[in-house]
Amino acid sequence: MTRPAYKRILLKLSGEVLMGEGGLAIDPAVTARVAGEIADAKAQGFELCIVVGGGNIFRGLAAAAKGFERATADYMGMLATVMNALAVQNALEQIGIDTRVQSAIPMASVCEPFIRRRAERHLEKGRVVIFAAGVGSPFFTTDSGAALRAAEMKCDALFKGTSVDGVYNADPKKVPGAVRYDRVSYSTVLADDLKVMDASAIALCRDSNIPIVVFNIREQGNLAKVLAGEGVATVVHSQES
């Protein structure tokens, strides 16, 4: 599949990507491997922003379903994303990648507040910027936060690293005959409820004309391959082909 060239991308990672087989919420070895993937992409000359979910530590929506007040549960989930962001920052800086964490919830002792112009300056200086705490408000997912930051930072694409190699018309883990798309439109994703990202994130990417590239981050070296236009991925775009 031929994909257009991108320069500035936002990489959205689920929190579960940082988990190890031993049950650790943040596995240092796994986090180091993910950092290596990011470093390989950085070496190709890409400007990188990152958003990491918090599901490996705390899921606000799941907690709300079990009796937590929804806004409180969502704030707890946002704090989990800050922990993950700091873990990824630590892993990146251990291999020499200059990194900044910016949080939508101010916490000056551990990271910078989100300031768009400062984030742009970091990217211009070759730093990786990790955006934490979603949009800073409850009732929004980290998918929405990723789409918002991608739009604010004028990213050429949003890359979503998952545990599957693209978008399917059904869950490939449950439906053996599920069909994978090479390209699919925003409207099809929304109409068929394909579970790429939540609807508000898809709509924001559509309105900002930001393609979403869905790929398997768990496969060694796959991020660099997909960024180079190789490897297996699905592109969610304005037109199908």
Rounded to 5°, angle at Cα 10 from 83 and 126: 85
Q: Would 22 be classed as within a structural domain?
A: yes
**Per-residue pLDDT for 191 more than 90?**
yes
Q: Would 3 be classed as within a structural domain?
A: no
**239 three-state secondary structure:** coil
Which single residue is written with the structure tokens 């037109």? 239
Q: Would 55 be classed as within a structural domain?
A: yes
**Per-residue pLDDT for 241 more than 50?**
no
CB atoms within 10 A of CB 32: 15
In this prediction the pTM is 0.93
Domain count, the chain: 1
In which band, very low, low, confident or very high, does the pLDDT at 14 lie, cut at 50, 70 and 90? very high
Residue-wise pLDDT tens digits, 114-134: 999 999 999 999 999 999 999
Q: Would 131 be classed as within a structural domain?
A: yes
In which band, very low, low, confident or very high, does the pLDDT at 173 lie, cut at 50, 70 and 90? confident
**69 contact partners, CB below 8 Å, separation of at least 6:** none
Residue-wise pLDDT tens digits, 100-114: 999 999 999 999 999
- Residues, the chain, total? 241
Q: Would 82 be classed as within a structural domain?
A: yes
**Per-residue pLDDT for 152 more than 90?**
yes
Q: Would 157 be classed as within a structural domain?
A: yes
CATH number, residue 201: 3.40.1160.10
Q: Would 201 be classed as within a structural domain?
A: yes
Long-range contacts made by residues 105-108, C-beta under 8 angstroms, separation at least 24?
Answer: 105/75, 105/78, 105/79, 105/133, 105/136, 107/82
Q: Would 2 be classed as within a structural domain?
A: no
Range(s) of the domain holding residue 19: 8-237
